Structure 1
């Protein structure tokens, strides 16, 4: 199925409970990580939420996967937020979905995009994240805030030059999410890097439409985006953020929760890393159990 977002057709999959016998369902929009596609971790969570009694919609972001949009690979945070709002709009038009019982779940970069969209879209009645990350902060500061300011400035210089080059007919330049020589770097790399490579580049999670690269000139949009600047606006709607205790990205959720207004909850899964929560059953199972309880309380009551 498809639905529109800024006049682009987004490709989606709607999971529904096998036991559904009629009547409008509560629903959750599930948004995939940066560089991912709907068939990966987003569908894993959506399928399990469907088994828990919810309709769950996954979709490829505009410019990515099976969705429309040129140039391919563009990671525009503002379009990503619009895609989430458009997914909610699509669900509100369906007779089998209860329009006042729609929530949203964002994984990794979408753990930034979903709260960002929900800050001003009151139709999202409950907001949840798994292994959330603010992509804007990652590009501005580096993961763990280890990056000097000169790195971003150099990227912005390149972005401007590339915009001019595209206007003159040059094909948009793609930058790989994971470098081609990643295997050579694994021995000394961070846990985050190693596990991201394993998920996206081995049979564990690899998908032919995922992780092909991001459009480099888009850094000027990414850098000015702040996922959690107005996260307090989600209140009085509930916010749940799930992290692994060993995740190198955990500080994003901890800081976002500290800035959010009630009701809010930080749920920590002991022993899990950032990528463990994508697909490792020992960690996904308690995450889904908490999500099902959270959405069950706030979307079906």
Structure 2
């Protein structure tokens, strides 16, 4: 299935998206739709696009898009990771879908993967147009920076990063030099000995498995001060009474994010486990992705059903 390249506005910037339409959709027929939002460091052509294509194969209009400052979307400086802007981009994607003749605006859901598994619930807490909320391998990027993977990171680490981010901001203004840091290790040697998330992140993003020229493995370092003041799940209870589904692998070193978020959420909610899967396995690997897609299909069919 070939997507249609589209553009839509978010905070005054043109975002680039891939729109997937179901085969056999009749002229004038309005279908349920799902926004799929990519991980930190990702682009629409990777796992977000894979899930969008699968959902379109199952009858949904699906939109994968590049966040502002990333991929093919507008925005300077490049590589900015602003969680609040990422959430606004998701809301803007919902607005775009709601204007399409092929979409029933009362039947729109959203799926977030990895860091977008935090951004999508965050956006949905106040955007009631999102009728069903789902995540795959969810991660709270702010907690990762503040506390480290699994928690327990010395507080001085974040203080040092914020000091460096402050220096980077001033350097941008005085020298025009922008500091960019790697998202995942650039080489297998650098990844060796690190937690599974980062080893497998290298294998996904930096090898032919999923490497893409628009996913350069760099983020604007001063994003740290915006990431650190954000929190994905503090208000997750506001999603209720709309349904929440979180999908995680039993072997994922990020699984605790989904577990803790579900504990904070109100009904209806479900944490669905994919046996044997790691965080990155759910990006593109069989049999894990088909299992996740099957669960998502049932979830969105039930909760985006015609009134």
What is the TM-score of this pair, normalised by structure 1?
A: 0.98
1:189 Cα offset (Å) = 2.3
Task: Measure, in 1, the Cα distance between the counterparts of 2:43 and 2:109.
Answer: 20
**Contact 2:205/2:217 (<8 A) preserved:** no
Q: Give per-residue Cα distances to partners, 1:173-230, cap 9 Å, x unaligned.
A: 10111234x3223442222121111000111111111143111111110001100000
Per the alignment, residue 3 of structure 2 pairs with none
**Contact 1:73/1:212 (<8 A) preserved:** no
Task: Measure, in 1, the Cα distance between the counterparts of 2:197 and 2:185.
Answer: 14
Residue 32 of structure 1 pairs with residue 38 of structure 2: yes
Match of 2:81 among 61, 67, 75: 75
Match of 1:258 among 259, 263, 279: 263
Match of 2:203 among 185, 189, 198: 198
Q: Give per-residue Cα distances to partners, 1:223-269, cap 9 Å, x unaligned.
A: 01100000000000000000000000000000000000000000001
Alignment size in residue pairs: 300
Residue 121 of structure 1 pairs with residue 139 of structure 2: no
1:66 Cα offset (Å) = 0.2
Per the alignment, residue 57 of structure 1 pairs with 63
Matches within 5 A, 1:268-279: 268-279=273-284
Matches within 5 A, 1:78-117: 78-117=84-123
Q: Give per-residue Cα distances to partners, 1:27-64, cap 9 Å, x unaligned.
A: 00000000000000011100010011000000000000
Per the alignment, residue 247 of structure 2 pairs with 242
Per the alignment, residue 158 of structure 1 pairs with 164
Task: Measure, in 2, the Cα distance between the counterparts of 1:126 and 1:214.
Answer: 30
Match of 2:138 among 107, 132, 146: 132
**Contact 2:98/2:104 (<8 A) preserved:** yes
Q: Pairwise CA RMSD of aligned residues?
A: 1.0
Task: Measure, in 2, the Cα distance between the counterparts of 1:178 and 1:287.
Answer: 24
1:93 Cα offset (Å) = 1.0
Per the alignment, residue 292 of structure 2 pairs with 287
Task: Measure, in 2, the Cα distance between the counterparts of 1:211 and 1:277.
Answer: 21
Task: Measure, in 1, the Cα distance between the counterparts of 2:121 and 2:24.
Answer: 30
- Provide the secondary structure at the position in 2 that maps to 1:126: strand
Structure 1 unaligned spans of 5+: none
Task: Measure, in 2, the Cα distance between the counterparts of 1:197 and 1:203.
Answer: 11
**Contact 2:67/2:86 (<8 A) preserved:** yes
Per the alignment, residue 219 of structure 2 pairs with 214
Per the alignment, residue 189 of structure 1 pairs with 194
Per the alignment, residue 8 of structure 2 pairs with 3
Task: Measure, in 1, the Cα distance between the counterparts of 2:119 and 2:285.
Answer: 23
Per the alignment, residue 184 of structure 2 pairs with 178
